[in-house]
Amino acid sequence: MPAVILVVDDVPANVKLLEAKLTNEYYDVITAKDGFEAIEQAKKHKPDLILLDVMMPGMDGFETCRKMKEIYEISHIPVVMVTALSEPADRVRGLDAGADDFLTKPINDIALFARVKSLVRIKVLLDELRLRDQTGMQMGVVEEGQNTFTSDVSGSKILIIDDDVVQLKKISEKLSASYTVESISRPETSQNVAVNGGFDLIVISTQLSDTDGLRLAAHFKSHEEIRNVPVLILVDEDDQRAMLKGLELGINDYVILPIDTNEMSARVKTQIRRKKYQDQLKSSYQQTINRAITDSLTGLYNKGYLNTHLDNMVRHALNNNKPLSLMIMDMDHFKSVNDTYGHDVGDEVLKQLSEIILKSVRSADLAARFGGEEFVILMPETDFNQAQDVAERIRRTVESTDMKVSHAVGTIKKTISIGVAYLNEMGDSGAAILKRADEALYKAKHGGRNKVIAAENQ
Amino acid sequence: MPAVILVVDDVPANVKLLEAKLTNEYYDVITAKDGFEAIEQAKKHKPDLILLDVMMPGMDGFETCRKMKEIYEISHIPVVMVTALSEPADRVRGLDAGADDFLTKPINDIALFARVKSLVRIKVLLDELRLRDQTGMQMGVVEEGQNTFTSDVSGSKILIIDDDVVQLKKISEKLSASYTVESISRPETSQNVAVNGGFDLIVISTQLSDTDGLRLAAHFKSHEEIRNVPVLILVDEDDQRAMLKGLELGINDYVILPIDTNEMSARVKTQIRRKKYQDQLKSSYQQTINRAITDSLTGLYNKGYLNTHLDNMVRHALNNNKPLSLMIMDMDHFKSVNDTYGHDVGDEVLKQLSEIILKSVRSADLAARFGGEEFVILMPETDFNQAQDVAERIRRTVESTDMKVSHAVGTIKKTISIGVAYLNEMGDSGAAILKRADEALYKAKHGGRNKVIAAENQ
């Protein structure tokens, strides 16, 4: 997958070498000679990946990486540290600064391209999600800074699959300090657990005695439900094939055996942070939809949602020869509440009416705030008599309820008028049934209020 | 990228062979022995790719493919036809049936895996978009069947880059029959056009004399703005390297030179259909957001949106030492319109009031329906006197407007009362300024209606 890569190094020869290698593989390359320029270039060009030298004068790679991760627009761009240092402690330092991985100088081409491909692929998926988030921000439904890469990872769930029980215990104990961990020592039993366990990360050993760990990872990654759950594999130091094949198969990271638990922890944290960020971006979409169909004051469905569904439900009832009823209700003299006590008290009263409505309907019913003090309940598979009973029950409940308000009077008593209409089996439409209910409501209002009136079908 | 692949062939040996090859590369394989079983398996397992034999007894591969494309849940799964037929006419037949590509028996492994990888990658991106669409459907904000794979492709825009002007003319003429085509014979000038032209497909020759066509394709694909625009390359029959490298780089399809224009047309259509489907899924999200922030009757912003922005705008005004005003207006005796003429007429009147409001505000102002017959206008960088002028102008316009209604009376005259409040520079909040405006509105109402009252800051 083509990509723009930022190469950062203070030694021109190193930049030239990497640039040549990457350009040869059809990547677009931009360069920077120090950390300051790197941040400027990253902000300006939004590359898909950053290859960052560690040892630089002025601001070193760790510091540069840390700074990049604090800038929203570039915080999600994967960073690979290029370093001559090869101690686990150095790697932990880089991971803590927010780096995704390391390449050791002199750079091995195969390792370089495997890493680049894998990280670019993840980045492109993340871009799609971020694009939506930005649309949401522009339209003002997602707050800036609501979704950030540096989210809290506590309480995340990790699945570890390893038949080396000593090693399994060691990993599990280390990770249990920060996460909820489930351990499986018999890989053949892991399928169901992995798919249905709601994990934020799966750790798989590639040193299993009877199972090919890579195949297990590939199998999980081919399930649409858990495709986006990061997988981290444990590989033997000499098993370069497993590392490269793993990256090709879409595993997200690897830890070399024997395990340095600090490095493992740091890598686990990096993966889980990215997963959490993706989850945030996705749930942000759900929230947007929720807001689109819900009345913000009462939590009932809004008029738009009712309108979308009314015709469908009428059609469905006609096609299946099922009854259907609808009621529209209006609070009597509601205006006087607003005028006497103010809008806040008016809102409190409407909320309490909504609660009465919600307690009176079944889950198959659709209760919506139709506007102001008007509410509609659409009741599938409910006939004329049942609907009148429900309406009468709601009317009586409202009449007898002392509605609590934050005003000196303490409570208010209100009544409602209701119009009920039911499906005309000879042919009907959402608009027609709503109109009949509305006419019945009008009669209830002009017949003295606090009444249920049912519309007769012609 | 791991994937589930469905292999369909009536000859068990062929199934076995493909299954072995794919399993060896860590793919999950499911199989079917005829078209009927293939459709069942596809519906049940939702594979990521289908390898479909053409010559089968009962229902052949063309017919099976056509049927699959008519079933919503599986219509987006890429299909590769496996065939001994190698005439362009056969390929066109398959493409017309909805297939994405062909593999000729005996199957070349390199071609097989390049194709599989490329199609799976596209499929996984599409899955993300479909997942959202399905969430939308479940929540009832996207209608089932609203977004379909078989959408209209007319009016789509295609960019062709080829320095062989004879060939360029031939392609351009063929495609111009169905699409809007832009031709570029000097590749070095294509960058700006490609990025900003809003194309649905880019066709690039790999036989350019001074430019590497693949590099150009990779360069386009590395631009986030046009990453998802499909690229089709023209390759010489013998240039397998270009085909494979192209697929690796994320190009979406290739056409062999010399061009069979019918085959090219069929491939172009396949690519554009997928692009259009992606666009639909994306704009569906925009619509959802729009619905979340808009009042469905008037098209003004809704209360939720106003609330989200009010505090931000107040804070911004305070921090930048700028004035800010807010007015809240309420139609006088609106209830009587609903009671006398019905809700439909009431809605007509509210819509006309909204139009007057929209004509009276600047683009920087935020006009929202606050509920029922109440409207709020938030006016940044507007001082006390300016706000009163705007309010007075709106009041007078409403007073003098004959509102057209679909009722025997023909037109209705209404008036509005308005409360205006402005920012307290000593410190203020959205809730406080809204409260002051509301109190002023209350005074306007009790002072005889059809009035503008401004709240004084203490």
DSSP string, B182-219: EEES-GGGHHHHHHHS--SEEEEES--SSS-HHHHHHH
User: Hey, what long-range contacts does B101-105 have (CB within 8 A, 24 or more apart)?
Assistant: B101/B253, B103/B51
Q: Residue A421 in contact with residue A415, Cβ under 8 Å?
A: no
DSSP state of B456: P
Q: Residue B305 in contact with residue B289, Cβ under 8 Å?
A: no
Distance from CA of A76 to the nearest CA of B (A): 14
Please state the domain extents for chain A. 1-140, 151-289, 303-454
φ, ψ for residue A200 (rounded to 5)?
-100, -10
pLDDT at A111: 81
φ, ψ for residue A195 (rounded to 5)?
-70, -40
Distance CA A428, CA A444 (A): 23
Q: Is A373 a catalytic residue?
A: yes
Q: Residue B419 in contact with residue B453, Cβ under 8 Å?
A: yes
DSSP, collapsed to helix, strand or coil, labels residue B2 as coil
User: How do strand B374-380 and strand B366-371 relate by DSSP bridges?
Assistant: antiparallel
Least confident of A26-35, A445-454, B259-268: B259-268
Distance CA A49, CA A370 (A): 50
Q: Chain B contacts of A140, Cβ < 8 Å?
A: 293, 305, 308-309
From the list A218, A288, A335, the residue facing B26 with the nearest CB is: A218
- Among B359, B363, B373, B380, smallest CA distance to B433 is for B380
DSSP state of B291: H
Q: Chain A contacts of B284, Cβ < 8 Å?
A: none
Given a cut of 80, is residue B294 above it in pLDDT? yes
Given a cut of 80, is residue A292 above it in pLDDT? no
Distance CA A29, CA A51 (A): 10
Inter-chain contact A135–B285, Cβ cutoff 8 Å?
yes
Given a cut of 80, is residue A287 above it in pLDDT? no
pLDDT at A308: 74
**B124 in contact with chain A, both atoms CB, cutoff 8 A:** yes
From the list B3, B304, B308, the residue facing A222 with the nearest CB is: B3
- Work out the pLDDT band at B149, boundaries 50, 70, 90: low
From the list A26, A217, A438, the residue facing B343 with the nearest CB is: A438
User: Hey, what long-range contacts does B409-415 have (CB within 8 A, 24 or more apart)?
Assistant: B409/B341, B412/B337, B412/B341, B412/B345, B412/B349, B414/B331, B414/B332, B414/B333, B414/B334, B414/B337, B414/B349, B414/B353, B415/B331, B415/B332, B415/B449, B415/B450
- Among A277, A202, A155, A132, smallest CA distance to B135 is for A132
pLDDT at B303: 81
Given a cut of 90, is residue A225 above it in pLDDT? no
Inter-chain contact A293–B445, Cβ cutoff 8 Å?
no
Q: What is the pLDDT of residues B85-96, one digit of tens each?
A: 778 888 888 888
Given a cut of 80, is residue A172 above it in pLDDT? yes
Inter-chain contact B442–A218, Cβ cutoff 8 Å?
no
* Furthest-apart CA atoms within chain A: distance in Å: 92
Question: What is the pLDDT averaged over residues A211-219?
Answer: 94
pLDDT at B10: 96
Give CATH for domain A1-140. 3.40.50.2300
Least confident of A126-140, B45-59, B333-347: A126-140
Question: What is the pLDDT averaged over residues A27-54?
Answer: 96
As assigned by CATH, the class of the A151-289 domain is alpha beta
Fold match, A1-140 / A151-289: yes
Distance from CA of A382 to the nearest CA of B (A): 22
From the list A224, A286, A307, the residue facing B127 with the nearest CB is: A224
- Work out the pLDDT band at B105, boundaries 50, 70, 90: confident
Query: How many C-alpha atoms does B404 have within 13 Å on its Cβ side?
Result: 1
Percentage of the residues of chain A whose pLDDT score is greater than 70: 96
CATH of B151-293, one of 3.40.50.10800, 3.40.50.2300, 3.40.50.720, 2.30.33.40: 3.40.50.2300
Q: Chain A contacts of B136, Cβ < 8 Å?
A: 289
Inter-chain contact B221–A125, Cβ cutoff 8 Å?
no
> How far is the CA of A159 from the CAs of A111, A190, A234, A243, A254, in angstroms?
27, 9, 13, 20, 15
In 10 A of CB A151, how many CB atoms? Answer: 15
Inter-chain contact B141–A290, Cβ cutoff 8 Å?
no
Q: Chain B contacts of A218, Cβ < 8 Å?
A: 2, 26-28
Inter-chain contact A296–B286, Cβ cutoff 8 Å?
no
pLDDT at A199: 96
pLDDT at B87: 80
Inter-chain contact A285–B132, Cβ cutoff 8 Å?
yes
Max avg pLDDT among A105-109, A330-334, B424-428: A330-334
pLDDT at B184: 96
Q: Rounded to an integer, what is the distance from CA A434 to the centroid of its chain?
A: 37
pLDDT at B342: 87
Distance CA A118, CA A98 (A): 17
Second-level CATH architecture of B303-454 = 2-Layer Sandwich (3.30)
- Among A287, A94, A385, A42, smallest CA distance to B292 is for A287
pLDDT at B155: 85
Inter-chain contact A26–B372, Cβ cutoff 8 Å?
no
Q: Residue B100 in contact with residue B131, Cβ under 8 Å?
A: no
**Percent of chain B as helix, strand, coil, to the nearest 5:** 50, 20, 30
φ, ψ for residue B152 (rounded to 5)?
-65, 130
Given a cut of 80, is residue A149 above it in pLDDT? no
Find where tokens 């060009």 sit. A45
Q: Which two tokens stand for residue B170?
A: 């031939």
DSSP string for B379-439: EET--HHHHHHHHHHHHHHHHH--EE-SSTT-EE---EEEEEEE--TT---HHHHHHHHHH
Q: What is the pLDDT of residues A174-195, one digit of tens each?
A: 999 999 999 999 998 898 899 9
Q: Which residues contact A199 (CB under 8 A, 6 or more apart)?
A: A157, A158, A159, A182, A226, A229
Least confident of A175-189, A441-455, B143-157: B143-157
**A287 in contact with chain B, both atoms CB, cutoff 8 A:** no
- Work out the pLDDT band at B397, boundaries 50, 70, 90: very high
Given a cut of 90, is residue B312 above it in pLDDT? no
Inter-chain contact B2–A250, Cβ cutoff 8 Å?
yes
From the list A141, A143, A373, the residue facing B292 with the nearest CB is: A141
User: Hey, what long-range contacts does A389-397 have (CB within 8 A, 24 or more apart)?
Assistant: A390/A327, A390/A360, A390/A361, A391/A327, A391/A329, A391/A418, A391/A420, A391/A452, A391/A454, A392/A452, A393/A360, A394/A329, A394/A356, A394/A357, A394/A360, A394/A418, A395/A450, A395/A451, A395/A452, A397/A356, A397/A360
Second-level CATH architecture of B1-141 = 3-Layer(aba) Sandwich (3.40)
Distance CA B18, CA B112 (A): 10
Please list, residue by residue across B234-259, b when 16 or more beta carbons sit within 10 angstroms of its beta carbon and e when fewer do: bbeeebeebbbbbbbbbbbbbbbbee
**A24 in contact with chain B, both atoms CB, cutoff 8 A:** no
Distance CA A53, CA A70 (A): 19
Distance from CA of A248 to the nearest CA of B (A): 7
**B197 in contact with chain A, both atoms CB, cutoff 8 A:** no
Q: Rounded to an integer, what is the distance from CA A194 to the centroid of its chain?
A: 20
Least confident of A86-90, A333-337, B76-80, B335-339: A86-90
**B305 in contact with chain A, both atoms CB, cutoff 8 A:** yes
Inter-chain contact A339–B445, Cβ cutoff 8 Å?
yes
From the list B217, B304, B438, the residue facing A296 with the nearest CB is: B304
pLDDT at B152: 75
pLDDT at A179: 95
Residues 377-436 of chain A whose Cβ lies under 8 A from any Cβ of chain B: none
Q: Chain A contacts of B339, Cβ < 8 Å?
A: 442, 445
Distance CA B95, CA A243 (A): 38
Given a cut of 90, is residue B103 above it in pLDDT? no
Residue in B closest to A439 by C-alpha: B342
**B323 in contact with chain A, both atoms CB, cutoff 8 A:** no
pLDDT at B158: 97
